[in-house]
Chain A
């Protein structure tokens, strides 16, 4: 499934990387610890988190993630937005809490394995 489809299905707000939504999402990963994502997330997954610090972008680049979804309507910090645009990382925002969002993603066929 492409990022654009997920954006449309779950009505996500696109904060950065509007031109990169044709990326294929290979799976999902949820974590608020960056060290955990660095250690365990697979390439191409969509990362669900509440972290808004600019380090999320570096982690996403390092692990070649498809993109980041912020939950609870969280606003990325200005430095995060800037870095994401430079590095080409889509940041999407959902008004839903993580549990709900991940359930919807799973229902769309995005799996964690």
Chain B
């Protein structure tokens, strides 16, 4: 596509994550650390590699979600001199679709119906699904397995975000905090974001391509862009 150099500061490229289809990823952090920004980076990473992304935003507006993309794209454009910025912006618009749901309206059957609407009419064939704001607290294992199966049958990658609370100390033996401590085996990639004292964010990988990563791999991110500070 010619845009690959643009994603070199994207954490996923640095970590070499999320290349393959059929995988489920999870980004965990406390509120306000930049889960959405990281998910948007993950989406842009896929889009700039020519994939199509559906961004599901639960409890957010279309405009707000879109402005996340616009902002981060602007930053990328500022850092790299690009010949025809409009073409890049258009290309992102064509490869992304935003779906926003009220909290209660998001279910597997609804999702499947929407995806089928798009695919059967040949409107949009997504390769990657981003789910921001998924309610893990009140979801059981079965519902999530259901979505995992759906993703497998559609040959799609999926990334979720989950918020963990400071006062909830439950944690899985592999180091995944609540509310995902009992379902962490469903994910092939797990990233944990932690605040650092110098106002940067540390990104730890707990699992990559299904394999446990011991001691994480510290990577410092710029908190406004979620891009890697130093390579």
A, B bound = no
Binding site for B on A (CB under 8 A): none
Binding site for A on B (CB under 8 A): none
